[in-house]
Structure 1
Amino acid sequence: MDKETAPRPHVTPPATALGLGLRAHREHRGVTVRGLAADLDLDPATVSMIEHATRRPKLDYVIRVLGYLGVAGTEYRRLVALAEHTEDGYLLEGGPIGYPVLRLEYERTADAITEWSPALVPELLQTPEYARAVLDAGMLTGDEVDEGVMLRLARPDADDRGPRYTVLLGEPALHRRYGGTHVLRVQLRHLLTAIDERRASVRIVPREGSWHPSLIAPFTLFEFRKRRPLVTLDHHYVGAYVTEEGPVTRYQESLEHLTAQRALSERASREIIAKAAAALGPARDPGWSPPLPGAACG
């Protein structure tokens, strides 16, 4: 079977999270791959493959490496639990505040990202003020909100040097004034800039229309050239990662349905965003006004 028709490997979320954890602790200790391999009489290539999730380690390997690196307590138990489930096609990752290491890895390595967000501008396109308004819903302390905003800002924006980034955005997100009118106005302005700079393809899904199961909740599809696609499901307390072929295919079909039958074109979507921004009234910055519908559309 040639390379083009060979099946893509099933790199599971637990194996990826385990590899990232082992690599982070090794680097924190200032130990190189070759140094760890020499001290533990291991093959450097094996260490590298395990850290990159292209090879799944045995439990005794993980325990041995964690002992060598001095990892203990909660983090030790977390990584051992991941090692016991590297074959699983699913993973639940806790929250609500914390650096989304696993999702960041998928954002960094994916060749295409498609995000369905029915009621909220996605994190990769949020302004700091909008992110703060979303996080500050009375369920977190002030320090947790500050940390959450900081962590979101630390993530790189989608741009034309990275993966293809497509957002299917529910029309309600253009009108929900999280943080007030000014915050939404600036957010819509930021969204228009991202579109014009081609950092993202944004398609608006109107409120009107028949019911479809995909309208229930947001999800993101990550696609890769050299491995199977996966879906992430985000909740305010838990993030779920799905790689099993059957469920992922159903989510792909949902995105195809939304794109083909419900979403507006890129041009029409930009126009409706511009109209929503204009409806919010004059900007505080006298040097800027919402672009006219259809402006800068290619």
Structure 2
Amino acid sequence: MTSPPYIPSVRARSLGRRLREAREAADIRVGAAAASLGWSQGKVSHIESGRNRPSERDVELLLDLYGVRRPQRDELLALAREVDRRGWWNDYTDVLHGPYVALEDAAHTVLGWAPQVVPGLLQTPEYATEIMRIAHTDDEDVERRVRARVQRQLLLTRPSSPASLHVVLSEQILHNPVGGPDVMRDQLYRLVSEAHRPNVTLQILETASGAHAGLEGMFIVLKFPAPDPDVAYVEGVHGVVYLESPQTVADCNVRFESLHKQALDSDASAELIKAVARSM
């Protein structure tokens, strides 16, 4: 039986980053580290990027090679043991791929620009079902994907440290009746309801706004507690891209700030959403 795909967590990313810093502090190149341990360069690189799950023994060997001493050594070994802790998404590896859900679940703030569809964190099950059916025809597969999406939404309501969500939506989303008028009307009222949460900010960028910073497409910025860096995420028909360079993430933050300033404020956005819902 094929083992389920590994979905790297923020803990894996954090461990990889700190191992890379330890290697660089020891002035050892990736190739030299790999040769010393009899590993491939890819194994070292994938551990450092969080794409591979390292064993505790692997981490011990790396720490020995880099000369890392206590208490930093103990901290990194403890983090290595935490990497294997299961998240809810591990039950959905048949329909969830890549690290996004694990990263999102660990973020303390999610910033998003949505030009085409309601963001997954705010979708009703019926709206999500219609979106899923565009690319997936198997009913059971669609149901699994919708259930996973509903599970994702719990990060906004979890009792301990719910994430903050700030989303700017294009007005055209409101007028695209995904699933028909009834499904769309319920979705619009769901947006109004979610916007009342203290940790949710929802704004609408009007169609008449003209040129804006989101013309190149959707993006999301995930913000984490220090010292983990922000991650930007963009998605297209042919796949997703994770942007982690400080300059690129900073650019996404600047773009979001521009969209936020150009969009209607929260109260005016809610009134617009309700007006569109009543017209259906």
Q: What TM-score bracket applies, with the shorter chain setting the length?
A: 0.5 to 0.7
Matched residue SS, 2:204: strand
Letter in 1 for 2:149: R
**Which residue does the alignment assign to 2:87?**
none
Tell me how far apart the structure 2 counterparts of residues 195 and 212 of structure 1 sit (CA, whole Å): 23
Superimposed CA distance per residue, residues 78-103 of structure 1 (whole angstroms, 9 cap, x where no aligned partner): xxxxxxxxxxxxxxxxxxx7225622
**Which residue does the alignment assign to 2:79?**
49
**Which residue does the alignment assign to 1:234?**
235
Unaligned runs of 5+ in 1: 1-7, 27-32, 54-64, 66-96, 281-298
Unaligned runs of 5+ in 2: 1-13, 21-44, 65-72, 85-93
Aligned partners of 1:172 and 1:207 also within 8 Å: yes
Kindly indicate whether residue 168 of structure 2 is the aligned counterpart of residue 164 of structure 1: no
Superimposed CA distance per residue, residues 125-182 of structure 1 (whole angstroms, 9 cap, x where no aligned partner): 0010000111112554333322221221222332384122101111011111111111
TM superposition shift of 1:18: 3.2
Tell me how far apart the structure 2 counterparts of residues 119 and 266 of structure 1 sit (CA, whole Å): 19
Greater relative contact order structure (CA < 8 Å, 6+ sep) = 1
Q: 2:150 aligns with which of 148, 153, 158?
A: 153
Matched residue SS, 1:212: coil
Aligned partners of 1:159 and 1:199 also within 8 Å: no
TM superposition shift of 1:184: 0.3
**Which residue does the alignment assign to 2:270?**
270
Letter in 1 for 2:129: R
Letter in 2 for 1:164: S
Counterparts of residues 1-298 of structure 1 (less than 5 Å): 11=17, 15=48, 17-18=50-51, 21=53, 46-50=76-80, 98-100=95-97, 102-137=99-134, 140-157=137-154, 158-159=156-157, 161-226=161-226, 227-260=228-261, 262-280=262-280
Aligned partners of 2:122 and 2:153 also within 8 Å: no
Letter in 1 for 2:231: L
Q: Structure 1 residues 186, 126: CA separation in 2 closer, same or farther (over 3 Å shift)?
A: same
**Which residue does the alignment assign to 1:73?**
none
Q: Structure 1 residues 51, 131: CA separation in 2 closer, same or farther (over 3 Å shift)?
A: farther
Tell me how far apart the structure 2 counterparts of residues 135 and 249 of structure 1 sit (CA, whole Å): 31
TM superposition shift of 1:124: 0.5
Q: Structure 1 residues 52, 220: CA separation in 2 closer, same or farther (over 3 Å shift)?
A: farther
Tell me how far apart the structure 2 counterparts of residues 134 and 198 of structure 1 sit (CA, whole Å): 27
Q: Structure 1 residues 52, 115: CA separation in 2 closer, same or farther (over 3 Å shift)?
A: farther
Tell me how far apart the structure 2 counterparts of residues 10 and 255 of structure 1 sit (CA, whole Å): 28
Tell me how far apart the structure 1 counterparts of residues 187 and 74 of structure 2 sit (CA, whole Å): 47
Superimposed CA distance per residue, residues 174-229 of structure 1 (whole angstroms, 9 cap, x where no aligned partner): 11111111110111111111112335110101111232352231110111231221
What is the TM-score normalised by the length of structure 2? Answer: 0.66
Deviates more, 1:247-256 or 1:99-108: 99-108
RMSD of Structure 2 on Structure 1 (CA): 3.5
